[in-house]
Chains A and B, each alone.
Chain A
């Protein structure tokens, strides 16, 4: 089966590369920061055969991280620093052979352009001219990076440093410099910086144990150590590796999974798929294009005095009566139980239906940072294994925060899966599928229509067979988002026109027709009579009730106040149509914000019962 891209452009020569980007969940706990520390020695510019040079690969990687940060986590800070350069550029130029290309800051259009300029052969030339290759002192470079972190005034929640190099002995056996670098690295680690090594292909192999094993941070778990040893030879691998590290896993909640009284397993709740949306527009001052701040104030219309939130209450109106509650009460009504996951029981997997879907699922994994992590993980692992083997899911009551009403989750076990390159495809843990309540399921009246015959079904099978492809969840880009960011990019960089985006959500009709050949016609002949036009407009049919009631626009009827009051008193305003109610609102100068019937009725009732 073909993959989506191949399938989508069958006639083109496909380059199998997809830009790999992923979103990050940003919480207001502080900024994430990432420093790319890139080796700029001569070795980095030597490409083997047709492969791009390690430097080129690194720049492509940096670029894709920049753009993905802009789209999905635009509050994160990124820096680009080169070491082993001839020239030096850093505050006070106190560090030799260290070149800060980009300070720790938000990535922007200009920076993306800068990095673009360092790509390819031309880029190598530019790099040679501006920075050159010279002595290496990793210790100085790390020191310089630690200054970058300390110069930031913002609160940083996650600090990461990635070293890109293809040299396993950067100082060529200078033990003094090795020692210095190790010391500086441990200083950095002590301040909470995580150091990763993105080691690239080196003729004769890259030996981590020679030097870098003492520089990088210890891996999260024992198993990871093994797969980290192989250097990256391909851009795709490097991007995958960078991507996996670049994002900080953030849980949306840390809770106890309660199996029964006294059996609590500490777990984290993560979101692995959530719709990325266009960010909100911001208001700028016309004269200088600076953002303006908005302030919302509540004030009393009679006295004009400012009101505090405590000077207000909340109301809902039913049957003409205003029901008043305090803000706190409105919140506390939503409280059912303390935050947590409460195990109700287990059900065979077939009880989970396809249509049990309300919103993106959550992912449940043992909480790592709690004191009791090991114990929790052990119970968790046992539960995961047995659920998986027995093909059952755990039904849980889920309360995310204090005042959130409960939802029920089906916890579906997922076993860990790794690909040939030992990269994780599926993480071990439970997927929490949100289950609908009775209110969430709508009753549809269905009618039985004639079903297809065997020959008709067989013909369709041929069609299905012709149009097969291998679905991958990351194969489709969101054209709306992509267009939006291309537009912004073009405006920011004063480009004549935004870069063209390819809309992968559009069916490639020509290719499909070609593949189907005469099959489509054959199927049509089998199911449709000659005079039937499946694309023809169905006669506009309205629901009978509507046809009887409201198709004709009624002439405006002015209603007397007495009449209206009569309706209010009898509580049968609802009998009037929306246009009549709207007119009535206008007539009595009642301001309404909404257009829903109930809102109109409420507003009128409030006005006339004053």
Chain B
């Protein structure tokens, strides 16, 4: 591992008050930026590389930096010096980084970061120095120092990345989606950002400016550490007199987690407190223990047990004479069944990088095989003590390279030649033409590869672009548990669930063909009939009652559990946001506004999924929000949120959800309930009904189109 290949990086986060302002229906920039940082640090922690990280906050209530003097560099605090990131940092970010009430110049903050980087990397070797700036640019800054700053950045070789709440090119006078136009400060800031980035890298500078939402999406995926492919140099032989030097690489292989679980004592959590002990005992009634030294090795040969010492075995076993990639012969590609591939890997075989002659020779073989549609059947031995394999080497010609693709083929002992009853000759199974065409339309509606207008094929579901969900989930849980040791495991990340499902477009498209298919194959009993029947027979009509009882018990249990765990709640989580919200308000450990912001953040996150299940989860959140706001006597947060939510409904296609709010009569908080409210009770009600009318209109339109089929059916 190259030791110098590490990066020093400073995260520079704007915590100024403007970062808490959000456009209606959107998460405040502060929360977004915090998420970016969390995801990023989390990824660094699990990657376990040597990169060092610092954190600088600006707009903070306190001032803590080397440059602060008199009234200069105020409200900028170096939260953490350069260090390898760890869980403490993650906890600090989660618990201690809150929006401040001040403002600070982002250019000043940049200077503090540069100072930090330069001081702490002095005398050490780093591959890259980088500053990541997360801000809404909503502070007036003085551009007079800009040139000096740029000059210093260049001299020190420091690179810059910007993360903004809005896209860099969508700025100007056009309001970005969400509604609010950029302020004058922001426009000025954006110009300066552009200037800095362009002068650092004229061509691609602006590509290093990202939006928060983009970044969150990309950082959600835990990237696994790239393994350096191991070269396997060998010689391909054809007979005794033709040899070609080759190098093989594993190209496809199931990636395993790097770390495994170790067993510890449940109380002390110490590995050393547990010892695993293996004892041998005779197969008699007393289970007489015998010493390991008194045992010998043997094998079963059917009913026989054959003592066979390790020494004898080594002497008598099959031996190979070292690594080999020997061609046994050539056969047609069509003779090789791909479902008979065995083994757990695919090798790609190239000529050595610096050997042109081997390259030409191998190319000759690859092209000959490709033209003839044939493969080489080869004997493959990895190393002297490796077992021989027989496999197929397929020709593979790409635009940029040529290679052989090697896959292992089965031995006779590996095959199970099952025969299955024919499906063709059996009348019972033979589908009708009608049924076949129903299947055809299902296939049509569910094609995942589409051609767009320009004839370019687009694959809607690329498995080889999905990260292994097992590890994504594992890291998510590890992170959660590391930071919240006593909390239950978090639910699956919604993006992961979505990534593993039928793409939305396909799911919608196949609805009608599926219905037809159901009608054409009318036998519906798919569930194991027997079981269902018996349970019904057994319980008869009384089934409903115990169910209801059970639900009640469950509810109580839930409530108790909530009480027990509430002590550890420090933020509004995603499992039960309403409960967390209630608890936090009661605890008064955080300011009311902050908690409200966290809750609305969660609601927005849930609504982002556009799914009825998530909508259902949101309703109690809003109910609790309202209820607690009335109790606390502060209606501002609730009312402004509901108002902004309402305006964003049509844009975000959330009519369905709004409908649910109307049904539950979640009106604005009126004057009678809370003094500070500006709404009369009539206003509050009006507010909802206005939405309802619009709703009906939309619904009616939808209904109209839906009727056509029904009408036809009736005729």
Residues of chain B within 8 A (CB-CB) of A70 are 301-302
A-B contact pairs, 21 of them (CB 8 A): A22-B412, A224-B422, A249-B418, A275-B343, A318-B46, A319-B87, A325-B481, A354-B346, A357-B407, A358-B253, A386-B436, A440-B254, A442-B249, A448-B400, A463-B238, A476-B390, A484-B317, A492-B301, A523-B364, A527-B357, A534-B361
Residues of chain B within 8 A (CB-CB) of A492 are 301, 304, 306
Residue among B239, B305, B506 facing the most chain A CB atoms (10 A cut-off):
B239
A574 to B84, CA, bound (A): 11
* Contact code string A319-332 (vs B, CB < 8 Å = 1, else 0): 11111110001101
- The 4 nearest A-B residue pairs measured at CB: A449-B359, A221-B421, A108-B303, A382-B431
Residues of chain A within 8 A (CB-CB) of B358 are 534
Known contacts A1-B331, A321-B482; A292/B282 CB under 8 A: yes
Is A521's CB under 8 angstroms from B241's CB? yes
Residue among A314, A385, A423, A513 facing the most chain B CB atoms (10 A cut-off):
A385
Q: Is A7 an interface residue (CB 8 A)?
A: yes
A41 to B528, CA, bound (A): 50
Is B485's CB under 8 angstroms from A324's CB? yes
Q: Is A310 an interface residue (CB 8 A)?
A: yes
Residues of chain B within 8 A (CB-CB) of A175 are none
Of the candidates A270, A370, A473, A524, the one whose C-beta lies within 8 Å of that of B410 is A473
Residue among A334, A375, A452 facing the most chain B CB atoms (10 A cut-off):
A452
Known contacts A416-B423, A442-B249; A293/B281 CB under 8 A: yes
Known: A437-B255, A505-B388. 6 other contacts (CB 8 A): A108-B302, A292-B283, A386-B440, A395-B448, A416-B423, A464-B374
A323 to B318, CA, bound (A): 45
Please report which residues of chain B, range 254-279, place their CB below 8 angstroms from some CB of chain A when the two chains form the complex.
254-255, 258-267, 269, 271-279
Q: Which of A79-87, A228-236, A344-352, A580-588 faces chain B?
A: A344-352
Q: Is A555 an interface residue (CB 8 A)?
A: no
Task: Determine the residue in chain B with the shortest Cβ distance to A435.
Answer: B463
A487 to B306, CA, bound (A): 10
Q: Is B240 an interface residue (CB 8 A)?
A: yes
A275 to B518, CA, bound (A): 40
Is A23's CB under 8 angstroms from B415's CB? yes
Known contacts A286-B295, A520-B241; A378/B465 CB under 8 A: no
Residues of chain B within 8 A (CB-CB) of A438 are 464-468
Is B468's CB under 8 angstroms from A545's CB? no
User: Closest approach, in angstroms, between the C-beta of A423 and any C-beta of chain B?
Assistant: 8
Residues of chain B within 8 A (CB-CB) of A516 are 238-239, 241-242
A414 to B418, CA, bound (A): 14
A363 to B340, CA, bound (A): 11
Residues of chain B within 8 A (CB-CB) of A344 are 448, 461, 501-503, 506
User: Closest approach, in angstroms, between the C-beta of B448 and any C-beta of chain A?
Assistant: 4
Q: Which of A29-37, A54-62, A116-124, A253-261 faces chain B?
A: A253-261
User: Closest approach, in angstroms, between the C-beta of B301 and any C-beta of chain A?
Assistant: 4
Of the candidates A263, A296, A382, the one whose C-beta lies within 8 Å of that of B435 is A382
Q: Is A28 an interface residue (CB 8 A)?
A: no
Residues of chain B within 8 A (CB-CB) of A266 are 526
Is A314's CB under 8 angstroms from B264's CB? yes
Q: Is A424 an interface residue (CB 8 A)?
A: yes
Is A354's CB under 8 angstroms from B388's CB? no
Q: Is B244 an interface residue (CB 8 A)?
A: yes
* Contact code string A297-310 (vs B, CB < 8 Å = 1, else 0): 11111100001001
Is A319's CB under 8 angstroms from B425's CB? no
Task: Determine the residue in chain A with the shortest Cβ distance to B330.
Answer: A464
Q: How many of A's residues come within 8 Å of B, CB to CB? A: 233
* Contact code string B589-622 (vs A, CB < 8 Å = 1, else 0): 0000000000000000000000000000000000
Residues of chain A within 8 A (CB-CB) of B2 are 545, 548-549
User: Closest approach, in angstroms, between the C-beta of B492 and any C-beta of chain A?
Assistant: 7
A254 to B473, CA, bound (A): 26
Is A307's CB under 8 angstroms from B416's CB? no
User: Closest approach, in angstroms, between the C-beta of B446 and any C-beta of chain A?
Assistant: 4
Q: Is A553 an interface residue (CB 8 A)?
A: no
Please report which residues of chain A, range 376-390, place their CB below 8 angstroms from some CB of chain B when the two chains form the complex.
376-387, 390
Known contacts A292-B295, A347-B449; A299/B277 CB under 8 A: yes
Residues of chain A within 8 A (CB-CB) of B369 are 464
Of the candidates A260, A271, A446, A467, the one whose C-beta lies within 8 Å of that of B327 is A467
Task: Determine the residue in chain B with the shortest Cβ distance to A68.
Answer: B413
Q: Which of A90-98, A189-197, A277-285, A557-565 faces chain B?
A: A277-285
Residues of chain B within 8 A (CB-CB) of A470 are 331, 335
User: Closest approach, in angstroms, between the C-beta of A49 and any C-beta of chain B?
Assistant: 30
Task: Determine the residue in chain B with the shortest Cβ distance to A266.
Answer: B526
User: Closest approach, in angstroms, between the C-beta of A503 and any C-beta of chain B?
Assistant: 8
User: Closest approach, in angstroms, between the C-beta of B12 and any C-beta of chain A?
Assistant: 22
User: Closest approach, in angstroms, between the C-beta of A364 and any C-beta of chain B?
Assistant: 11
Please report which residues of chain B, range 153-202, place their CB below 8 angstroms from some CB of chain A when the two chains form the complex.
none
Residues of chain B within 8 A (CB-CB) of A180 are none
Known contacts A321-B87, A444-B348; A572/B50 CB under 8 A: yes
Is B489's CB under 8 angstroms from A329's CB? yes
Is B421's CB under 8 angstroms from A7's CB? no
Residues of chain A within 8 A (CB-CB) of B271 are 315, 606
Is B412's CB under 8 angstroms from A262's CB? no
Is B282's CB under 8 angstroms from A406's CB? no
Q: Which of A139-147, A150-158, A454-462 faces chain B?
A: A454-462
User: Closest approach, in angstroms, between the C-beta of A311 and any C-beta of chain B?
Assistant: 5
Q: Is B126 an interface residue (CB 8 A)?
A: no
Q: Is A276 an interface residue (CB 8 A)?
A: yes
Q: Which of B223-231, B577-585, B649-657 faces chain A?
A: B223-231
Q: How large is the interface on B (under 10, 10 to 19, 20 to 34, 35 or more residues)?
A: 35 or more
Q: Which of A127-135, A202-210, A426-434 faces chain B?
A: A426-434
Is B459's CB under 8 angstroms from A347's CB? yes
Is B412's CB under 8 angstroms from A21's CB? yes
Known contacts A249-B420, A263-B518, A301-B272; A282/B394 CB under 8 A: no
A252 to B390, CA, bound (A): 26
Task: Determine the residue in chain A with the shortest Cβ distance to B411.
Answer: A478
User: Closest approach, in angstroms, between the C-beta of B338 and any C-beta of chain A?
Assistant: 7
Is A471's CB under 8 angstroms from B336's CB? yes
Known contacts A374-B429, A397-B500; A439/B525 CB under 8 A: no
Residues of chain B within 8 A (CB-CB) of A459 are 364
Residues of chain A within 8 A (CB-CB) of B48 are 318-319, 574, 598
Please report which residues of chain A, range 351-410, place their CB below 8 angstroms from some CB of chain B when the two chains form the complex.
351, 354-361, 363, 365-366, 368, 370-372, 374-387, 390, 392, 395, 397, 405-406, 408
Q: Is B35 an interface residue (CB 8 A)?
A: no
Residues of chain A within 8 A (CB-CB) of B75 are none
Is B396's CB under 8 angstroms from A354's CB? yes
Residues of chain A within 8 A (CB-CB) of B439 are 382-383, 385-386
User: Closest approach, in angstroms, between the C-beta of B278 and any C-beta of chain A?
Assistant: 5
Q: Is B101 an interface residue (CB 8 A)?
A: no
Q: Is B148 an interface residue (CB 8 A)?
A: no
Known contacts A74-B302, A109-B304; A24/B250 CB under 8 A: no
* Contact code string A206-242 (vs B, CB < 8 Å = 1, else 0): 0000000000000011111000000000000000000
Is A480's CB under 8 angstroms from B367's CB? no
* Contact code string B345-389 (vs A, CB < 8 Å = 1, else 0): 010101111011111110111011101101001010000000111
Residues of chain B within 8 A (CB-CB) of A485 are 301
User: Closest approach, in angstroms, between the C-beta of A459 and any C-beta of chain B?
Assistant: 7
Is A282's CB under 8 angstroms from B298's CB? yes
Known contacts A332-B489, A406-B469; A289/B307 CB under 8 A: yes
Known contacts A357-B407, A383-B439, A464-B369; A285/B448 CB under 8 A: no
Known contacts A272-B339, A371-B525, A437-B463; A291/B298 CB under 8 A: yes
Please report which residues of chain B, range 471-487, place their CB below 8 angstroms from some CB of chain A when the two chains form the complex.
471, 473-474, 477-478, 481-482, 485
Please report which residues of chain B, range 486-531, place their CB below 8 angstroms from some CB of chain A when the two chains form the complex.
489, 492, 500-503, 506, 510-511, 514, 517-518, 521, 523-530
Is B409's CB under 8 angstroms from A473's CB? yes
A501 to B503, CA, bound (A): 54
